[in-house]
Structure 1
């Protein structure tokens, strides 16, 4: 009898024990990579902020090129589920080709790809903050001579150009409606010098440059060198960037859950 009682007690104890909490899918932040040593430091600082905001989410870093760890190595070391969050500011080749191909080389993972960071109001918040840090003041917003150039990397993908145009519109609204004109470091778009000439011809002579880059690098340095007035730092590890990374992660998970609900309803 005592043996039976002990067995029942053990079984009931097991039933009463709460199930182990399920670990959330890993958040794999995908940086482009750069020979500038500041790029890797910036990515790590950003992910430290992300981890501080959501300590329960495993956060990993992978690079498309030039820096360690490569994305393939990061994915190879993971098991279970992962969400790739591109630390990129628009739709282009890396988001549309490189990331799906990387997931295809990691068939052991249940992976999905989040949207790129831009365009988004949180980016406009971070861009505005960087301009203020560089010396941009409220009085500049009210001057008809003021304007801003949004310096971006550039891409031949028309979706990427549209994303940058929308980011410029969001920043303009954040700045109270002053003109914000995109300029590109590559891919044949208008350069910083081109945009300066356009704005000057329209009567704008106090032209600030907003650096639409997630981290320091060659393009950020080149566009800053062509700026006619004050230049803001790249977006970097601004707190709004950390919130945006988690927002994209959550959106990807919610979209996946919604697809699963649709499939279940279809089979009823």
Structure 2
């Protein structure tokens, strides 16, 4: 029914206004490292700049405020798409986030984690180049192709599907760089970064870079970088591809029938 203003002959300015889109709630893990919170905040600012008018909110699983239940409570009856700022499937995506949303009785849909996806490979490649990975057709790049390799350093999970996702990213990055890329983990899975470095050296790959497969700085990212025998890239952080990927996951979730479970199919 058309809403009528108090003054005769004038239609309320609310008539014809499009409803607000569902909020994009970025769900971060949380970290004791203060750099993580500032990095995630800057990443969300990039998302807002790309999509003016889209409500963009932040919720954490643990360790930092706002916690996800508080973010959902603040949204009230508004619909939201939860996009995990996580790089693979695992317990947080399959259990923690859905349980928090259910407990909050919020109107939410859950997107897939960020990885694997070619946009992540764009960001990883750029971060390696910033750290000193040679680009172009000069002799340095040729040397690296013959004797170099990359360890893709991830947080780690006991969930086998998490390792599958990380392995897919490693293969995508290997195709981009033209060198072997071996997944390694900071916890809960094998090999560790030092183990992967030693295995590559045994294969004659002595110029080994560590690619930081973390969304923000933190203890795991620092420890993995310290194990690099050559160069180590910075975490993915606020790279423009990360902001585009968050929006891609949001848009894809809105296009997916609600009966499906996109969080369990991270293509």
Same fold by TM-score greater than 0.5: yes
Partner of 1:29: 26
Alignment partner of 1:77: what SS? helix
**Structure 1 stretch 155-164 or stretch 139-148: which is displaced more?**
139-148
Partner of 2:38: 41
Alignment partner of 2:42: what SS? helix
Alignment partner of 1:143: what SS? helix
Residues 243-258 of structure 1 mapped to structure 2, 5 A cutoff:
243-256=244-257
Q: Deviations over 1:102-125 (max 9, x none)?
A: 110121x21010000000000000
Alpha-carbon distance change, 251 to 144 in structure 1, aligned in 2, over 3 angstroms: same
User: Do residues 134 (structure 1) and 131 (structure 2) align?
Assistant: yes
Partner of 2:103: 105
The separation in 2 between residues aligned to 1:246 and 1:126, in whole angstroms, is 15
Residues 79-94 of structure 1 mapped to structure 2, 5 A cutoff:
79=76, 80-94=78-92
User: Do residues 76 (structure 1) and 73 (structure 2) align?
Assistant: yes
**Structure 1 stretch 144-153 or stretch 131-140: which is displaced more?**
131-140
TM-score normalised by L of structure 1: 0.88
Residues 100-249 of structure 1 mapped to structure 2, 5 A cutoff:
100-107=98-105, 109-138=106-135, 139-140=140-141, 143-175=145-177, 177-249=178-250
What is the deviation of 1:174?
Answer: 1.5
The separation in 2 between residues aligned to 1:69 and 1:151, in whole angstroms, is 28
The separation in 1 between residues aligned to 2:98 and 2:258, in whole angstroms, is 19
What is the deviation of 1:202?
Answer: 0.7
In structure 2, list runs of 5 or more residues that go unmatched.
Answer: 1-5, 261-267
The separation in 2 between residues aligned to 1:188 and 1:120, in whole angstroms, is 21
Confirm or deny: 8 A CA contact 1:140 1:146 kept in the other structure: no
Partner of 1:59: 56
The separation in 1 between residues aligned to 2:141 and 2:65, in whole angstroms, is 41
Alignment partner of 1:204: what SS? coil
Pair member with larger Rg: 1
Aligned-residue Cα RMSD (Å) equals: 2.0
Q: Deviations over 1:19-47 (max 9, x none)?
A: 11110000000011111110000000100
Tell me how many residue pairs correspond in the alignment.
249
What is the deviation of 1:150?
Answer: 0.2
TM-score normalised by L of structure 2: 0.89
The separation in 1 between residues aligned to 2:79 and 2:257, in whole angstroms, is 12
Confirm or deny: 8 A CA contact 2:109 2:258 kept in the other structure: no
In structure 1, list runs of 5 or more residues that go unmatched.
Answer: 1-6, 260-268
> Would you tell me which structure has more helix in proportion to its own residues?
1
Partner of 1:265: none
